[in-house]
Structure 1
Amino acid sequence: MSGPILPALQQRLQKLDGVPLLMLRLYLAPVMLQAGWNKVVNFEQVVTWFGNVEWGLGLPMPALQVTLAIGAELLGGIFLLLGLFTRLSSIPLIFTMLVAAVMVHWENGWLAIADPQSWLANGVLLYDESVVTSAEKLQRANSLLQEYGHYDWLTSSGKLVILNNGMEFAITYLVMLLVLLAYGGGRYVSADYWLRRASSNLH
């Protein structure tokens, strides 16, 4: 029975292979659009941060670098949303995420949120002492709030956290973009698919 059933199931599932790619695009698009827009509204501050050697990234031609990042994130976000030029628009976004991971987040280790209980913060992968320090700050903050603040109200929607600003999110987005680079925007659910289909019909 499994002989004819499995190929039939596989054939039906292939018709849905565009859905995961659509989900990746819908997840990534607002992230990129927000990142690009934040740079637009804070352009001067971001340029200063990009160029400053002492406390910033120390990049050459910071205004040009910020402008390129804005273009990659805003245009890339729009193209991902539409599934238009998906593979092509993924390339500058991959580069942007790689630069962000190495230049901005690398020194903070892997974790985006400080968690000294995580095996990723105990020396297995990019150990970072600031994770422990952040945890100590969090413990102190909880104690202060329990004593002087409205602790139950502040934590009614979830526990307090300390941002560790590690590579976790940037690398996650990078992996997702690599999938889109390899597979494109997806069948039936992207502008690329319909443009390709229209082009083939013309020939």
Structure 2
Amino acid sequence: MIALLRRADALLISLTRPLRHLDGLPALALRFYLVPVFWMAGSQKLLHFSDTVAWFGDPFQGLGLPLPWLLAALATASELGGAVLLALGLATRWISLPLLATMVVAALAVHLPNGWQAIADPSAPFANAQVLAAAERLMRIRDILQSHGDYDWLTASGPVVILNNGVEFAVTYAVMLMALVVLGGGRYTSADWWLARYLRR
């Protein structure tokens, strides 16, 4: 049995060996997925910077962080600069670390009290009390829209949902960033790879 598994493993390795030159594509896909995420987040912080600082420092309705101006500036710069560097595949491992830190802070300080789900789905296995309570509100919203609006037009792109703001997206982005810390920018697809190749010469 073990010999059979070894032969199957050797066969799989030999069949996939020609694909090794495509091993930069997963890193490229992760980078390009994350670029608009961080660009939009950083842009919103920059456009409403005074509100961002106030929210970072507010101990009652915000994060209650010390040095809110500095931390808001660092978060904004990390997200905007990170989007540009990820797009280029330049300093991929290095920029993934502060972006990962922002995702951990966001998950723990902002999203964790809301549970796992980003969108409230009472039928999901991880539905907490907050999500289950959203079911009645969602039913009321649908009733109002069906009675007083063009429901088919309003829901043409998908059903009405309630944002739960759980940790789901923050954790997903954090996992993707951890993968980039290990993978780097990717073979052939990043400035990191071409720069390293040039320096080796």
* CA deviation map 1:31-70 (0-9, x unaligned): 1111111000000111111111111110011110100001
Which residue number in structure 1 is paired with residue 166 of structure 2? 166
Asked if 1:27 corresponds to 2:11, the answer is: no
Letter in 2 for 1:46: T
Q: Secondary structure at the match of 2:126?
A: helix
Q: Does 2:91 correspond to 1:85?
A: yes
Cα distance in 2 for residues equivalent to 1:47 and 1:12: 51
Task: Report % sequence identity.
Answer: 51
Structure 1 residue 153 displacement after superposition: 1.1
- Alignment correspondent of 1:48: 54
Which one-letter code corresponds to 2:189 in the other structure?
V
Give 1:67-106 correspondences, 5 Å limit: 67-106=73-112
Q: Which residue is 1:195 aligned to? A: 195
Letter in 2 for 1:194: W
Residues 152-202 of structure 1 show CA distances to partners (whole Å, capped at 9, x for unaligned) of 11111211100000000000000000000011010000000000000111x
**Distance in 1 separating the partners of 2:148 and 2:69:** 45
How many residues align? The count is 195
Distance 2:130 2:8 in 1: 54
Q: Taking structure 1 as reference, are residues 4 and 133 closer, same or farther at Cα in structure 2, changes over 3 Å only?
A: closer
**Letter in structure 2 aligned against 1:143:** D
1:180 aligns with 2:180: yes
SS in 2 for 1:10: helix
Identify the range of structure 1 (40-49 vs 132-141) with the bigger mean alpha-carbon deviation.
Answer: 132-141
List runs of 5+ in structure 2 lacking aligned partners: 1-6
* Partner residue, 2:43: 37
Determine the C-alpha separation between the residues in 2 that align with 1:152 and 1:139. 16
1:153 corresponds to: 153
Letter in 2 for 1:171: V
Q: Distance in 2 between matches of 1:96 and 1:29?
A: 15
1:58 and 2:58 correspond: no
Does the alignment pair 1:111 with 2:106? no
Inter-partner Cα distance in structure 2 for 1:113 and 1:162? 6
Q: 1:51 to 1:2 in 2, by over 3 A?
A: closer
Deviating above 6 A after TM superposition, structure 1's stretches of 4 or more consecutive aligned residues are 1-4
Q: 1:13 aligns with which of 8, 14, 19?
A: 19
In structure 2, what residue type is equivalent to 1:153? W
The match for 1:124 is none
Deviation for aligned residue 1:102: 0.3
Cα distance in 1 for residues equivalent to 2:58 and 2:13: 59
TM-score by length of 2: 0.93
In structure 2, what is the Cα distance between the partners aligned to 1:163 and 1:4? 48
C-alpha distance in 2, partners of 1:93/1:3?
Answer: 37
- 1:8 to partner: Cα distance: 3.4
